[in-house]
């Protein structure tokens, strides 16, 4: 048990370091403008990569996932509140599951 606690603390440390080091060290560094530009694109690339194709397999049935995702996309396109977009996605999956599966 105490060994397992040490393991968890070590896992915490190796999780924390990649989060903390760039934040503290890059913050006040003068970065070349291509590097800055690169870092500006990171959020969009990360988001796209998080969404696709993972979303297809986020629930039991792929068709339900597609309906849920489409609901969210439509709501997001019209700039609904984020909570509504999330609820809409969940509802889309739930209803599709109820009807077809």
Binding to another protein (CB under 8 A) within 58-87 occurs at 58-60, 64-65, 68-69, 72-73, 75-77, 79-83, 85-86
Total of chain residues touching another protein, rule CB under 8 A: 74
Q: Is there binding between residue 99 and another protein (CB under 8 A)?
A: no
Contact (Cβ atoms closer than 8 angstroms) between residue 59 and residue 93: yes
Q: Minimal CA–CA distance to 70: which of 95, 97, 82, 88?
A: 88
Query: In the range 1-60, which residues lie near another protein by CB under 8 A?
Result: 1, 3-5, 7-12, 14-24, 26-28, 31, 34, 36-55, 58-60
Q: Out of 30, 62, 63, 91, name the contact with another protein by CB under 8 A.
A: 91
């Amino acid at each position: 048990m105490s060994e397992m606690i040490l393991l968890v603390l070590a896992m915490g440390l190796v999780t924390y370091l990649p989060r903390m080091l760039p934040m503290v060290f890059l913050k006040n560094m003068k970065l070349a403008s291509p590097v800055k530009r690169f870092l500006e694109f990171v959020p969009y690339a990360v988001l796209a990569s998080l969404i696709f194709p993972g979303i297809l397999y986020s629930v039991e049935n792929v068709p339900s996932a597609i309906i849920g995702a489409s609901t969210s996309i439509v709501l997001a396109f019209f700039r609904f509140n984020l909570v509504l977009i999330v609820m809409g996605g969940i509802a889309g999956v739930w209803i599709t599951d109820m009807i077809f599966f």
